[in-house]
Amino acid sequence: MAEQKRDYYEVLGIEKNADDAAIKKAYRVLAKKYHPDMNPGDAEAEKKFKEASEAYAVLSDPEKRRQYDQYGHAAFDGAGGPGGFGGFDFNSADFSDIFGDIFGDIFGGGRRGSRSNGPMKGANIRSSVRITFEEAVFGVEKEIELTLKDECTACHGTGAKPGTSPETCSKCGGKGQVVFTQQSFFGTVRNVQTCPDCHGTGKVIKDKCPDCRGTGYIANRKKIQVSIPAGIDNGQCVRIRDKGEPGTNGGPRGDLLVEVIVGRHPIFQRQDENIYSTVPMSFAIAALGGEIVIDTVDGKVIYDVKAGTQTDTRVRLKGKGVPSLRNKDIRGDHYVTLVVQVPDKLSHDAKELLKKFDEETGDSLNAAKNVTSKKAEEASGGKGRGKKKLWK
């Protein structure tokens, strides 16, 4: 049984009273999204592309749209047109208005009527630099070394041998683009592509400069100073203007993007503008209270622990975190988790003192022994017949 076709208006996602502009706009979006050249090997995308193209071919034609509105899909059933979509010839549909733009994007050209041989900004360059946790908090000056292109002093960036000049490209006539035709689902489509001879510049070099070999630029190894602001986080970038690739046809240079890689810290962890760490404290300090030393990015801080502080208690050191990138005068906080540290080695005297302390504070060392003795006593009937208690 043949698959039921969807309503053409539903396929394009438009209302039945949509005008020509709305139909064209809806189809343009779907055609760019599902075109087979943008989705190689995707059968589902190709199916949706054909479905949208069929809908557009009907609804963009006033007569076909009138027939469809009156009879639905039955208006074209059985005609077996050469378009292969069930009843009409898609070569008669005008797709050039749309695909002059779409195919230009797909096959590497610009939009119709655009000129790619005008001044263009150069490409950005990416690099990276490693810094410490503290350098990320307070900022630092770093120096990186990389290869940059400079204008050739012999040809002054033209790429042509001194005494000669680049010539107008004969293939595109200096436009930087060429027009070609391609067979598609809809017949012959006119497309625009960047000129393969001049690569969109509109100029070709017959005699190349011997110094730069026609590129117009000389590569040099250079050292660049990078100012890393306080508060930067791992993976963020510092942009240095005009240190990227040279522009074309008089365009400005691109930028240098330096990714900052922050090393791990043995004590501190960062989340946004706050710092987190864990600090051990002795049982005596936790029970009786007292001062402990806490390491922060600003140095050591003395903190007064209250008597009876439990393990995993979190304290806040206000303003000891990371500065804000937007306002260096604003800083996050440092959160410290206090953990009671249990000694793993005790002298004989210390053990005896600890046992005495335990006897005075609940006798926890003998808790299990006391429970066992009580169970044995009650099991023997010491409480009287009929009043025996079972322990589980």
Instruction: Count CA within 13 A, CB hemisphere, residue 49.
Output: 18
The rounded distance, in Å, linking the Cα atoms of 16 and 360 is 88
Spatial separation of the C-alpha atoms in residues 122 and 148, rounded to whole Å: 12
Parallel, antiparallel, or unpaired for β 334-341 and 274-282? parallel
Write out the two tokens for 61: 């034609």
Entry pTM: 0.57
3-state SS, residue 367: helix
What's the CATH code, domain 125-262?
2.10.230.10
| 392 residues of the chain, pLDDT tens digit each | 456 788 999 999 999 999 988 998 899 889 888 887 777 778 888 888 889 888 898 998 888 898 888 888 887 765 443 333 444 455 445 555 555 555 544 444 444 444 455 677 888 999 999 999 999 999 999 999 999 988 888 888 888 889 888 888 888 888 888 887 766 655 566 677 888 878 777 888 888 899 888 888 898 899 999 999 999 999 999 999 999 888 877 788 899 999 999 999 999 999 999 999 999 999 889 988 999 999 999 999 999 999 999 999 999 999 999 999 888 889 999 999 999 988 888 888 888 888 888 788 777 777 777 777 666 666 666 554 544 444 44
Token pair listed for 288: 């009786």
Using DSSP, state whether 297 is helix, strand or coil: coil
Where does 8-94 sit in CATH, by number?
Answer: 1.10.287.110
d(CA 383, CA 391): 14
- pLDDT of 193 reads 80
| Among candidate residues 262, 247, 222, the one with its CA nearest the CA of residue 128 | 262
At 365, the amino acid letter reads L
What pLDDT does 192 receive? Answer: 77
Classify domain 269-341 by CATH number: 2.60.260.20
| Strand pairing class (237-240; 256-262) | antiparallel
Rg (alpha carbons) of the chain, rounded to whole number: 39
Domain ranges of the chain: 8-94, 125-262, 269-341
pLDDT at 357: 85
Residue length, the chain? 392
